[in-house]
């Protein structure tokens, strides 16, 4: 069985400028791994309409699922909804169901401002993604899930989206610590990767309390094969001393 694939599109000048620390990719990667969806690509792009359109089209064609983060707020530079609509060749307008969600969030009797209504603009044919934090919905069109950049809201929207997605076998991982540099174990690692190609075997150097070494992380969808790989690594470590 081959797991479905996913890509993430992080949208925002504030990410590229270093003004804002990106956290959503880390959360998404962990959640998708547990759900059996392989995250294959993460792109970070500016608030540029044409760039967003091109990226959405390319990622949507290449992957089972696409997740976007950012650009659906109330300000002039929140252009993701319009760009995604263009990517799919549809119009965008204030939707009654999105307006109702925002009205419920601000409370009865309060008038929705133009800024509120900007967040109710949804591409034609899209389904809303619930936002239990602030009420302003995301949306899904085709295989693209358009979500907020604010981390707490991104998490809430992902909670709403994940249960309904095509998924596969969860990825499990284990790791082993070697108190030697990567050069000492590069050859046996290469040999192990060659005989267990279904696994991802990563090598990550560390410096901890004056000790230099390497953490080896094994990832795969078959827990038994991951255990076998760890045991082989342990034998390599013990033989090396």
Cβ atoms within 10 A of the Cβ of 23, count? 15
Which tops the pLDDT comparison, 167 or 48? 48
Tens digit of pLDDT for each residue in 65-123?
A: 999 999 999 999 899 999 999 999 999 999 999 999 999 999 988 999 999 999 999 99
Distances (CA, A) of 233 to 17, 167, 182, 192, 214: 41, 30, 13, 8, 12
Please give the Cα distance from 180 to 187 (Å, whole number): 13
Rounded Cα gap, residues 182 and 147, in angstroms: 39
Contact 155, 133 (CB under 8 A): no
**Structural class in CATH, domain 172-240:** alpha beta
* Distance, CA of 126 to CA of 50 (rounded, Å): 20
| Whole-model pTM over 0.75 | yes
Give the per-residue pLDDT at 139: 98
**Closest C-alpha to 62, from 167, 1, 144:** 144
pLDDT of 1 above 70: no
Q: Which pLDDT score, from 0 to 100, does residue 241 have?
A: 59
Q: Decide yes or no: CATH 3.40.980.10 for domain 5-164.
A: yes
- 5-164 and 172-240 agree in CATH topology: no
Average pLDDT over residues 18-26: 94
The strand pair at 65-69 and 144-147 is best described as parallel
- Classified as helix, coil or strand, 97 is helix
Residue with tokens 């309409």: 49
% of the chain with per-residue pLDDT over 90:
90
Helix, strand, coil abundance in the chain, percent, nearest 5: 40, 25, 30
pLDDT, tens only, 170-199:
999 999 999 998 999 999 999 999 999 999
The tally of CA atoms less than 13 A away on the side-chain side of residue 49 is 8
Among residues 63, 84, 60, 64, which one has the least CA distance to residue 72?
A: 84
The CA–CA distances, whole Å, from 5 to 61, 72, 182, 215 equal: 11, 24, 30, 27
Domain borders along the chain are: 5-164, 172-240
Residue 15 has pLDDT above 70, yes or no: yes
């Amino acid at each position: 069985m081959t797991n479905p694939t996913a890509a993430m599109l992080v949208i925002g000048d504030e990410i590229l400028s270093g003004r804002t620390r990106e956290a959503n990719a880390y959360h998404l990667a962990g959640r998708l791994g547990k759900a059996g969806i392989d995250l294959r690509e993460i792109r970070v792009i500016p608030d540029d309409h044409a760039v967003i359109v091109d990226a959405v089209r390319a990622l949507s064609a290449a992957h089972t699922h696409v997740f976007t983060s950012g650009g659906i707020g109330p300000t002039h530079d929140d252009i993701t909804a319009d760009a995604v609509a263009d990517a799919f060749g549809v119009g965008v307008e204030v939707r009654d169901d999105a307006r109702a969600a925002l009205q419920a969030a601000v409370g009865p009797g309060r008038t929705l401002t133009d800024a509120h209504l900007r967040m109710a603009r949804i591409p034609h044919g899209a389904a809303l993604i619930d936002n239990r934090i602030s009420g302003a919905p995301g949306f899904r069109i085709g295989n693209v899930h358009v979500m907020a950049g604010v981390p707490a809201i991104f998490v809430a929207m992902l909670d709403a989206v994940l249960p309904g997605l095509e998924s596969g076998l969860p990825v499990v991982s284990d790791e082993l610590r070697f108190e030697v540099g990567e050069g000492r174990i590069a050859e046996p690692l290469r040999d192990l990767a060659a005989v267990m190609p279904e696994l991802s075997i990563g090598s990550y150097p560390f410096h901890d309390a004056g000790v230099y070494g390497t953490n080896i992380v094994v990832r795969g969808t078959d827990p038994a094969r991951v255990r076998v790989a760890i045991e082989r690594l342990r034998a390599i470590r013990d033989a090396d001393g």
